[in-house]
Each structure stands twice: as C-alpha cells, then as structure tokens.
Amino acid sequence: MLIERVVILALIATGLISMASAIPGTATFYTTYVPNACGFPNPGTMIAAVNSGLYSNGAACGRSYRVRCTGPTNLCRNGEVTVRIVDLCAGCGPNQLDLSQEAFSIIANPDAGRIQIDYNP
C-alpha cells in the first residue's frame, strides 16, 4: 500500500514538473514532408518542422517534442501529440512549430490554421 502511494505521488510530481517546464508558443501545419532538411526519406506523419533557432543547424533532427493546444476550446481538441523533428521551417518565428497536418489535427481543428501551444522537448 505504501509503495502504491509513493508511485502515485511520483507520477503526479512528474506530471506537474512536465507542465511547469512547458514552453509556450504557436503551431501551424504543413502537408509536404519530403524532401526535408533532416534528410529523412520516409519521415512518417507525426512530425514537425521548427524555426532556425530550435533547428540549431540540424541538431534538432530526430528529437521528439510533446505538443498540447492551449487556445480556445472551440479550436483545441483534448490531449497532446508527440512529434519528431524532421525539417526546418525557415518562415517560422521563435517558439513556433510547423506540425504535419495529421499531428495538428489530433490537437486542434485544422480550420484554425494557427493555434497557441505548450511544448516540451
């Protein structure tokens, strides 16, 4: 019983730390995944492109980010999505992610076009 309580408290603490370290930003979406700046021939669909600062001359290639929509409830859908960085978004601003259309659709209505997010590297 004591071990179960410790495990539960540890899970709660991990969730709180994760939410506290989330970075606020914006997300848009794109639909052409190949070619990409990271050179992945078959990147899949749960992917994203990042601004040049986050891209860091390719150092971000292959990293995973958890993304959650934080905007109005009429635009956001529940939950979060984990995406892999596969591309550079040269036109993206600071703390902007350009998600694949499939990833964007999981967390928000694509009609929104641009949403407020929190993301964790």
CATH number at residue 109: 2.40.40.10
On whether the CB atoms of residues 39 and 26 are closer than 8 A, the answer is no
Asked if residue 84 is part of any domain, the answer here is yes
Query: For residues 86 and 33, what is the distance between their CA atoms, to the nearest angstrom?
Result: 8
| Residues 45-78 pLDDT 10s | 999 999 999 999 999 999 999 999 998 888 898 8
The separation between CA 106 and the C-alpha centre of its own chain, rounded to angstroms, equals 11
The structural domain count of the chain equals 1
The string over 55-82, giving b where at least 16 C-beta atoms fall within 10 Å of a residue's C-beta and e elsewhere, is beeeebbeeebebbbbbeeebbeeebbe
Q: Is the dihedral of CA 102, 106, 112, 115 positive or negative?
A: negative
Quote the pTM value: 0.81
For residue 106, what are the domain limits?
A: 23-120
How high is the pLDDT of residue 9? 44
On whether the CB atoms of residues 102 and 81 are closer than 8 A, the answer is no
- Percent share of the chain, pLDDT over 90: 75
Asked if residue 7 is part of any domain, the answer here is no
Asked if residue 95 is part of any domain, the answer here is yes
Band the pLDDT of 6: cuts 50, 70, 90: very low
How high is the pLDDT of residue 20? 62
Backbone phi, psi, residue 4, to 5°: -60, -40
